[in-house]
A and B are shown apart, each in its own frame.
Chain A
């Protein structure tokens, strides 16, 4: 675990001020090693999305420490200035709704980030194609997002999250709209990607079907995390 992955210590997040303040995160401690996929589960309102947003540098925590790779990104205050560049270079996002860009085809949705960063279009597309192949959706490479099924969209969204080979992937309910077979396929892909690219992956889920696949699980209740050993069931 030295030199990589995610480390969170004593993270705290309060929404609002005064009477209406909500302590969504009270005491969050978490470690995810490179190549590891951990589950984050908890009842509604327990702070799962809030944690993911803090980790994804989308909202600012109130206190604590967050380390991505070897870099302290938060220590009672942001330690880096360009959060958007951090998100672009270090973090892949996968959401419940895939939110693909409707006017770009599958390949360009995946290749978008490197293309915007100035990588030649054909190089970026070749890279995207390789990922689509790994996710077994290369046959839909020219399709528009509106022409894809929910599961296909989710796989494209995963490919998009992986294109920059981020050391961290944050997934919020990635299997919610999928049936159990597809849901397991998505989790398998995430596990493969973690192994292949040494990515630390956090999967927020309610989904009973996929919970048994995690080797380690963080339970969060009222903003406090508890680590558990998962079943770590293998895929067939």
Chain B
């Protein structure tokens, strides 16, 4: 047997390579889009993994702490700790903000972690450099993606922090790198405004005769202190004792503590099903558009290439070549173009994933299903050209 398509491609390789490269860049974009989606899902999973929690306890009837805001009293954890099945319970705060470092500022998620050291839920499980936070104030562990280095001084709200440790791939569900600081500092950062606002607040309290009573001189100070501290956290991370079912502990927490709790799989559903659902839909729409555009391009190219061979096709028919052979030739050329495009696309996606300003996770199964879809598109795209070829009258080869 002889492959007419193979020989035609070899003969007109320039045409095939150039259109293949064009198509390949389009396919590269498609694979990258899929990779961005996978990256977002992975960011979510990494976030949950690295928090070291089995359960997330949040404000009643909220989807916090990642998908909605949630706040609960910072002493709630004590009650949770006393429940059966709970091994550890730790406060945590999350606040996405700009962090200044010298001239620059970096978008990051500031995580306030409860004192106690590594192993407490919320703490980064491992560091790539430096050490964990040991002092109770003004130390930070930052993710490498922030660009901070050990011993850098960074500014969060009004306070300066020293970077003492670095992590890798500790990111928020939207891909912002994390910066860990002591819980107390974080609560303050979340609550406190600038100096001016504090002074204004003090003045307002002092002017209120209900608080500023000469008969009780300590009252004003007490009120100001209570107003300037923040007794809230965003969630309590819970680790279970071995042998306890997450669902049952969730049940107990919700019944006794008037709080809402989520298991790991519920949290994953919230992150992936709700938080990144819109982005996923946008990406899905892009993938559909790209598939249609690729199909149109392949169909157009194959149709043009076929029209250029109409006379040869008439000759092939005249000398007795089967329709199957002719259709096969056209379809194989379309598939060949698809294969060239796929190879180019896979290579370019691999390269620009490295410099893409978002985590791109190229999964083998996406490449594989992308390849299958592309082959189906190629087959469909060749139908118009095949139709044109099979309509050719062999008498045309004889002429007048």
Do A and B share a complex?
Answer: yes
Chain A positions within 8 Å of B, measured between CB atoms, are: 49, 52-53, 56, 58-59, 84-89, 93, 95-97, 99, 101-104, 108, 111-113, 115-116, 118, 121, 144, 160-161, 172
Interface residues of B in 1-52 (CB under 8 A from A): 1-2, 4, 7-8, 10-12
- Given A102-B312, A108-B7, A160-B319, also A97-B1 (CB < 8 A): no
Chain A residues with Cβ under 8 A from B398's Cβ?
49, 52-53, 56, 58, 93, 95, 172
Chain B residues with Cβ under 8 A from A86's Cβ?
320
- CB < 8 Å neighbour of A53 from B312, B317, B395: B395
Q: Determine the distance from Cα of A177 to Cα of B1 in the docked complex, in whole angstroms.
A: 33
Do the beta carbons of A116 and B400 come within 8 Å of each other?
A: no
Chain B positions within 8 Å of A, measured between CB atoms, are: 1-2, 4, 7-8, 10-12, 311-312, 314-322, 325, 394-395, 397-400
Q: Determine the distance from Cα of A52 to Cα of B395 in the docked complex, in whole angstroms.
A: 10
Chain B residues with Cβ under 8 A from A59's Cβ?
395
| Interchain residue pairs with CB less than 8 A apart (12) | A49-B400, A56-B318, A84-B322, A87-B318, A93-B318, A101-B4, A101-B312, A103-B11, A104-B7, A116-B325, A161-B319, A172-B398
Q: Determine the distance from Cα of A59 to Cα of B317 in the docked complex, in whole angstroms.
A: 13
Q: Determine the distance from Cα of A95 to Cα of B314 in the docked complex, in whole angstroms.
A: 13
- CB < 8 Å neighbour of A172 from B4, B319, B399: B399
Do the beta carbons of B1 and A99 come within 8 Å of each other?
A: no
Chain A residues with Cβ under 8 A from B399's Cβ?
49, 95-97, 172
Q: Determine the distance from Cα of A220 to Cα of B105 in the docked complex, in whole angstroms.
A: 94
- Judged by DSSP, the binding face of A is helix
Q: Determine the distance from Cα of A56 to Cα of B8 in the docked complex, in whole angstroms.
A: 28
| Chain A proximity of B320: nearest CB distance (Å) | 2
Do the beta carbons of B318 and A115 come within 8 Å of each other?
A: no
- Given A49-B400, A99-B311, A102-B11, also A88-B319 (CB < 8 A): yes
Name which residue of chain A comes closest to B395, CB basis: A58
Chain B residues with Cβ under 8 A from A111's Cβ?
2
Q: Determine the distance from Cα of A95 to Cα of B311 in the docked complex, in whole angstroms.
A: 13
| Chain B proximity of A125: nearest CB distance (Å) | 10
A101, A111, A115 interface centre (most CB from chain B within 10 Å): A101
Chain B residues with Cβ under 8 A from A115's Cβ?
1-2
Do the beta carbons of A95 and B321 come within 8 Å of each other?
A: no
B11, B12, B318, B321 interface centre (most CB from chain A within 10 Å): B318
